[in-house]
Amino acid sequence: MADFKKFEEVWRPIYLQDPVYAETAKFLLEDAITRTDQAAQKEYAEIILKHSGKDGWLNIAYVGVVYDELGDTALAEDCFQRNLDNGRGINVNLSALSNLRQGRKAAEGIAEFAELMEQYEASNDLQALIRMAEKGFPDAQGKLGRAYINGLDAPKILPKLSNGALWPLNKVTQLGKLF
């Protein structure tokens, strides 16, 4: 830890962004979480953000979850919005941001989305795709729209709204063209 601090003081000003440094800070953040040291958690989270570029969107999302757990919703939202602005991890970040704005934890439902997406990609399980689309994941909605455009029988695959009606075909078609 002392070497990490010394490196930060002496060499850090030379580099603009250093992904290896961000990964090291992530390891130290995990340790700070284990020790429940909130000051250290914030310090390492800031380092991760400073040294994570567009391709480090998973680091940025992770910091967003950490900020949410620390009770700083505004900083958490900033992290997820940064990823969205950079066009990275759209489904995950949009879901997390939506959760925060609805008063839920950022990570709520993300594991379920990952599991459903894996199920869909492994076997083309249309029911998994429909469940993701119903939950509002844009990628799933787009894939469902493409399925309709490509000739699948829409009434059989279109998810129903909470009132039992089918999704409007024009909305599904528009989503398919977007993705």
In order of their start, the domains of the chain are: 2-107 (1.25.40), 111-178 (no CATH)
Show contacts of 121-130: CB within 8 Å, 24+ apart.
Answer: 126/157, 130/157, 130/159
Per residue in 35-88, pLDDT (tens digit) is 999 999 999 999 999 999 888 888 999 999 999 999 999 999 999 999 999 998
Residue 147: count of CB within 10 angstroms of its CB: 21
Distances in whole angstroms, Cα of residue 174 to Cα of each of 75, 93, 97, 142: 33, 22, 23, 8
Per residue in 74-93, pLDDT (tens digit) is 999 999 999 999 998 887 88
